[in-house]
Structure 1
């Protein structure tokens, strides 16, 4: 895929003079490229971009051992009740999400991503993830700690 960032920098101001700004530009470039990649995945699989965000949200909740409810999904995605219901209905119809009653509280519905949806995502994003992990292994633990501190701090700023 052609990157929108393959062109030479025509900015007469040398970014090397402002290292923190270089990081901002790199994050923006990564965001644009990942968004384009996610859009390609969504289009190829008949998904809306919000569908993909919902699946990621549910996978993150599972990884954090957080109960994934429609309410959690609504809050994280900024959706109202009707929009959340339509989203979950669509993902369930496509076979990407399963609804189950909470065994501890039968009034509560828990959402989970199906193994088929995980496999679908892995088939598309798996090679990129593997390459990113291999790249991360070229850093020593101290370097990784700095990268993580920067990314965690940036994420906190963006989510505020």
Structure 2
């Protein structure tokens, strides 16, 4: 390790490639947000809610605020804006009527697929050229990279 960071090598090249992909994803998210009159935080909120749905996690305003790093006022503003745009629904939790659960509206899912579908399909096509071991290595790397990034305060 030099004073300016890791020595150049294949690991650093992969970090730079990951950054390049991340920047492109960010640009697409910003384009989607602008096209649909949203803030970038709105898109992040929708992604969090979609991930929660896939994981079977109950998404409440408090949970969403924690995911986004927002205070309650900021979280309420995002939720209100997304609901007003028709991208989010609020429903009472059938197990605890005091709680309100958040979910992405089906129309927003369709809107997202119309925009991001071709990008996702291209990435899936790339991964289909990988064998099981290569796919497992990519998954292991991305999970570990995510843990490394989120471990930094």
TM-score (norm 2): 0.93
Which residue of 49, 55, 61 maps to 1:64? 55
Residues 1:90 and 2:47 are matched in the alignment? no
Please give the per-residue CA displacement for 1:68-123, whole angstroms capped at 9, x wherever unaligned: 11011000000001111111001000000000000100000000000000000000
Matched residue count: 144
Which residue of 107, 111, 123 maps to 1:120? 111
In the alignment, which residue of structure 2 is the partner of 1:28? 19
CA distance in 2, matches of 1:155, 1:118: 25
CA distance in 1, matches of 2:78, 2:30: 17
1:1-160 equivalent positions in 2, closer than 5 A: 18-160=9-151
SS of the equivalent of 2:42 reads helix
SS of the equivalent of 1:111 reads strand
SS of the equivalent of 2:124 reads helix
SS of the equivalent of 2:98 reads coil
Structure 2, unaligned stretches of length 5 or more?
1-7
CA RMSD, 1 decimal: 0.7
Please give the per-residue CA displacement for 1:28-56, whole angstroms capped at 9, x wherever unaligned: 11111111111111000000000000000
CA distance in 1, matches of 2:134, 2:84: 44
Shift in Å, 1:131: 1.1
SS of the equivalent of 2:102 reads strand
TM-score (norm 1): 0.89
CA distance in 1, matches of 2:77, 2:29: 21
Structure 1, unaligned stretches of length 5 or more?
1-16
